[in-house]
Each structure stands twice: as structure tokens, then as C-alpha cells.
Amino acid sequence: MTTDFLIIGAGVAGLRAAIEAAEAGRVLVLTKDRLTESASEYAQGGVAVALSDDDEVRLHEQDTIQAGDGLCDPQAVRVLVEEGPAVTRQLIEWGTRFDRVAGDGARLAFTREGAHSRSRVLHAHGDSTGHEIARALFQKAQTLPDICFRSYATTIDLLLAEGEVCGASVWNAQERRVETITARAVLLATGGLGAVYSETTNPDVATGDGVAMAYRCGAEISDLEFVQFHPTALHVEGAPRFLLSEALRGEGAYLHNAAGERFMARYSPQGELAARDVVSRAIVAELKRTGAPHVFLDLTHLDASFVRRRFPRIYDTCLRYGVDMTREPVPTHPAAHYAMGGVKTDLYGRTTVEGLYAAGEVAATGVHGANRLASNSLLEGLVFGARVGRQLWERADAPLREPQAATAHPELPPGITNEEIRALAWSHAGIERNGRDLEDCVQRLEGIGLQPGPAPTRAGFELRNRILVVSLIARCALAREESRGGHFRRDYPEKRLEFQKHSCITKSHDVRFA
């Protein structure tokens, strides 16, 4: 099977890129699950953009760089904040229904989230922003005849011809066979890697596939040690770790421990609105101090009708698991949420391997540095998705090459389960790390053997990718002997100037800093 442009993933970045790329050729978008199953679909808080009357692009830029803790790429941040307003207005033109000020349908409603100096976060249907943006983009993409979609198609590996990516091998779950798809260019828009951890707000599809495939084909991976752990996820037995949006605290919710004491003031002068890594570590410290299984997010002092109207999805989900957030505090615990690092790209989505591009959470553009500013992720997917979609035009006349070797049935790891890998990642490479645990993690993962599987399955391919991604996270975290942003080492609790650099790792070179 051939196409001009192969896009792996149908979240905000993949859809936005597909719309642009369709002007220059045929686009095939693959997803390993339902077309609508992506992290974008679950993004609640909103999209941060300097569009309000009292905001400025310069202030958004400053807030982003400050949150990035010394590792943001200034050029990438400038691209994000300067191009953000135009792509957001375009979204509105395409039918995205952002919330408006009550009683004034002409004015967009903005809210403030942690570490923002202005109220600049747009939301839709209260707390379903990602769902609404993805809906509008998918609707737009469906009007373009040169975009085709295929669901339940798990990409196994990228294919190479003379050092260039020329396509991918894909597991067709319905027909239970491996297919080869050749393309002039391949875009990874596979999303994040949160589901390599046992505690995560991410959907099950977020298994780091894009990072693993890019690494195996020789691409450079950058800053993978920087994983953002969201401080507030629903912590009820039998319930998924459903995200309790930052916007809840932005609207006045506060945290207290099992004794009913508000504790954030002991850890940060910004209290509940401190950066996510600060709040997450504060909760971990509080849980160790008190011995409790979770802390509580309290909205009971807010108007109940406002809470239900502003956060309908969160309210309904909590209620489904026995918690009425307007009447009782919500049990909460940190969970893996977002990867700041990923496949290294330039400002146009080009990776270090010719013919391979990346956009969205899978990409390391340098926008987020060591710690992402709240609600910049949807904006990054939109801005850089559009940029890489246009950049794909440069490959419109590239030849379609036959791969040197197509994957038949790759060897899969025996004797270990996805659940065991996720537990290892959480315990050894989670919110708080140390050299001993990281070394143990790397050694245990390197000791896992590979052998031909009895039958290919999506779970088997995901296990293979999880093992590699957790190993890469641990190796990068072990090499970074400091604490910065989302990366915290108990044995190196301070920032160190010599590590104010990006980590880089490839299949042929171990971790280095540049």
C-alpha cells in the first residue's frame, strides 16, 4: 500500500498536520484504536493563548520560559506564542465552540491556571476542550478528499531505505496480518507515554510507541527524563485515574490532608497554584508525613451550580464513582500525565532521520523545557501540527522507495507483563528518583529477553515499546545528576549549572548533554 504522507496518530497534532498536508498530496492517517481515542480527547483544562484584552504574547512567552526551568528553546517558545492566536482564530472559523462570557456571547471566556500570570486559557463545554477541538478538526479533515483514515491499525516499526524513512509496517488487527505501507514522508503524531506508568491520567493507547519506533530507526531522543506528574487525579478504588483539571484549583479549589489541614503554603508561596511538579512533590511529601493513601481536593466552599456548570464532565465522572464534589472533598493522588521530551525535532517537525517528522506530545521541540506550562500542550499540537503539515510539502516529489527489510513478526519480550513494567516505572522512575533505583530499573529491563511470539498482538507490540521507553527514561534520568522541572533526584536535590542542557540519546550513542 502506498500514500504520499503517512501520519501515525489522530490527535490534535496529527489532524492539524493532515489538513495542511492534504494540499500537497494523499494523506493516510493511522490509529491503533478508535479514531477518536487519543490524549487530545481527554484534555480538560483548555488551550492557553494570548487573545484576551489584558494579555500579551510577551507575557505568555515569559510564563512558558519560567515554567520550563532553564531548558526551554526560546525560538520554539516564540513560535508557539506568536502563532498561537492565528491558529486559534482559525479553529473558531472551522466551528470550534469555545465557551463565552455569560450574558455576552461575543466575548470568549478565559480562565487562569497554575503558573500563568494572566487569565488566558480557553475552554469548551466547561472541561471538554480537547474533545471539542478534535471534533472540529476531524470534521474539517473529513471534507478533504485526499485524507483517508484507518483505525485499529497498530504501527509496528518504521521502515528504512538508504537511511531514509520510507514507510511503516502495520499490524492489521481485523485481518490479523502485517502490512507494509510506503510513503514519501512519515509523521509521528502518536501522543505521549504516560501509560508506561501504573498511575496515569493518560488513555491506554499512550504507550510511547512513537518514541520507541523512532529510537529503533536511529532518530535522536531528547529530554525523556522530564515526565510531568499531574498532582490531582481521582484516587478511588476501582476507578480510573481520571484527571482532575488544573482549572479546578484555578477556580478556587484547595488541597487538604486527611486531617483537614491545607498544606500547600508549607511548600510554595503560590499555594495550590504552584507549578505542577511542585504540587505533586508536595502531595508525596504530605502522604509520607501522614501515612494516608491520598489527599483531598475540596470544592465544597464553591457554589454547587457553578461547579456543575463549569466542570460537567469531571462532576459526572466523580459522581459515577461515588463522589459528589459539590458536597464532599475528592480523594486525589498524583499520576503520570505528560512527557516534555520525545523525538528531537527542529521548528518544522523534522527529526534527525530524513523522511521522518514528529509533532505533538511525541516530539521534543524545546517548547516545554523541563516542565510544561499548563494548557500549552493543545496549543503546541495546533501550532506545530500546522507547521509540520506545511513542511511535508517539501517531500511531495520525493520518490516512493522500497524498504530494505519489512518487519514480518518482530521478536517480543517473554516472561513479563505490561502491568509489571508499569509498576516498575512508577516505583523506580516516578515522581521521586534516586541513582540506586534507576540503575536497578535499567539492569532489570536489559535482562529481559526477546523471542518470536506465538502470535502478533497489539498488547505484545505495546509491551515491547513500554520496555524500551521505560529503559530510556531511566537511562536519561540516571545521567541527569540534578533536580530540575519534572525530574527530581533525592540524591541530587538541587539544580546544577552543568546540566542546564538537553539530554540526547540514540541507538548508537548513550546519553549525552548538549
Which sequence positions are flagged as catalytic? 276
- Rounded Cα–Cα distance for residues 239 and 38 (Å): 19
Task: Find where cell 463549569 sits.
Answer: 310
Closest to 205 in 3D by CA, of 282, 256, 244, 153: 153
Alpha helices in 369-457 (DSSP H): 376-391, 418-428, 435-446
Three-state secondary-structure class, residue 262: strand
User: Residue 154 phi/psi, 5° resolution?
Assistant: -90, 120
- Rounded Cα–Cα distance for residues 165 and 159 (Å): 6
**Pairing mode of beta strands 121-122, 110-111:** antiparallel
- Rounded Cα–Cα distance for residues 181 and 6 (Å): 8
Q: How far apart are the first and last CA of the chain?
A: 40
- The set of cell numbers assigned to 62 is 515569559
- The set of cell numbers assigned to 139 is 470534521
Closest to 360 in 3D by CA, of 133, 152, 147, 166: 133
| 504, 220 Cβ separation under 8 angstroms | yes
User: Residue 328 phi/psi, 5° resolution?
Assistant: -145, 150
Report the alpha-carbon angle 347-349-355, nearest 5.
Answer: 135
- Rounded Cα–Cα distance for residues 224 and 110 (Å): 32
| 404, 187 Cβ separation under 8 angstroms | no
Three-state secondary-structure class, residue 271: helix
- Rounded Cα–Cα distance for residues 230 and 252 (Å): 17
- The set of cell numbers assigned to 508 is 548508537
| 248, 299 Cβ separation under 8 angstroms | yes
| 231, 276 Cβ separation under 8 angstroms | yes
**How many residues appear in the chain?**
514
Q: Exposure of 509 by Cβ count < 10 A (0-12 exposed, 13-18 middle, 19+ buried)?
A: exposed
